[in-house]
Structure 1
């Protein structure tokens, strides 16, 4: 199975040994951040620093003139990724014999929300989510599509992985986050992620819903949860129990269509800008109403649009099956495992986990995250990848669920 590790440019730039160290893991590919959200990242081996604070969402290369006169445009990085940080890191990795693909984060941008609050998702209570641009707004959609095309197709890149190309909602690892005091569950989180900006209000109207009445229904449905009542059960059935079947279906119809058309438009824009054979993957969850970095998609639809998907497998490999069941020849189905033990990952079981993923249809591996991992974690990754190359390990039963905090 082809394996790729995630990296930030600051993991490589200024460290002359970084590219060779990554190549020595036994991977063939690196997925290198070209546009990324704010973060605070550990760099345990870098000769010049140990902590990098990326203060806001930014492109990690010099943006070109296409943005002149545009209402929304990407932010340049600060001293955490100066100049063409992406380009310098990509060149070093390519010189080490690694294939470089871009990693592009799209609808996740707290600075945009702070400076342009009108672009943000607004919940049924009127609270704005500054980290979550509303993907229904025309100006936001145009910005995301253009950003996808520019950030994905960097010089020398052989492909891209598009993250957050869809709805973002309540769930977000924010600074000193204090939102876990009430167990909203899957259903409550969906209701708290519904957007009521002016464009979405019109969209609900197109589905036969009065936006004010819908917002009132959402607040009414959530009220028992604030008082500690059970969340109504998991899955879509839980949403229907809280909101009612007809209203739930209408909200989902609006949101699903909005996400689908954005994904189609963005992938077309990337392909138009890219050379022949350029690979386009989405970080995806096979449940359309799910939100976040791994956007909810319809498996049949997305595999007709993109070359494949990157699927979160940190908590198990169950999300692979809906994509594998499509039987789409040539589609990439990459199982994404966390290999940072301090973040809940299990690098020492990678060979067995990979074998299980392969049995469920995975064709490739993604390993999160080579720059954040300790030396011990990387040593285990190297050993486990060697095992995969030399013999097929026994497929073990699914491991107990793990608590993973990638902070992606």
Structure 2
């Protein structure tokens, strides 16, 4: 019988590799919003949150009178409809917007320098007023112009002006700040923008992070697990931009939709690149509002938006963009129905696994499935009011 070789207890280099693994793949962080509301900077004010709340509640009162109508419009099982309806009303009344982005990019357009500077000041005043009133969303910040536009100075000036203006008025940078960096066509732009944030945060007493937008096929080529580390951990999220992405592929206008297979591919690349890194993922938007105030038009908009939200959720994207107050209704109703549908059975299966007993129904859960069940419960607890 051959002699057993003398093996090291720990392979050479293991400790360094294990530390690198822990740093690169820390897992999911804390609470993540279910949506981001984008408001053009010239329209953003201290009244924005209240205006969106009132508009959404008005639509519910007019066109979603009770659980039965909610079940019919959104395809919610009747057994869940009352619970979803109650949570929807509570959410719209207490926290209609979880994450707001003051948009200085596509939704705002190109304005003369002094005009944009004026809107930066106006936005800083609005943020300060919302913060003082206790109504500033839990996440907030600007979307600045892309470096791909060829004018990084404008982007940096807007960012610095907003941050400085808010701090001047409040004495601090309120919690939840993040900045959206769009149209990242070159990887170098990410490094350059991260360096801008590093310089800007000096003296603020707050660490500045940003979310990149994936809006072009070229961007997919440099998405990888090492990217957040190369940016000093400043990359907080990656948001998918459906309209620029589908336009760049040459899809016809009527195919610019979140549930197009080309968009599924892009999102799956994003998932593969950032799985386990702690970088949050967000889907894009529906660029539509009700065609009129009639019930049939409002319901048609809600049904289409709900289809897209469900599509995102099924694909593991738990956040998306909302562009109109009507979207708040279909967003929250669909998210709540999605989580409530499996909540009790998921909880029972996790409990059965922990107690080493059968959950019933002939289900044989693998450890990976139990981890997925537990994660689904944590997301539900974060999302449900």
Which TM-score band (shorter chain)?
0.3 to 0.5
The structure where helix makes up a greater share of residues is 2
What TM-score, normalized to structure 2? 0.42
Larger relative contact order, structure 1 or 2 (CA cutoff 8 Å, min sep 6): 2
Name the structure with the higher strand share: 1
Rg comparison, structure with higher value: 2
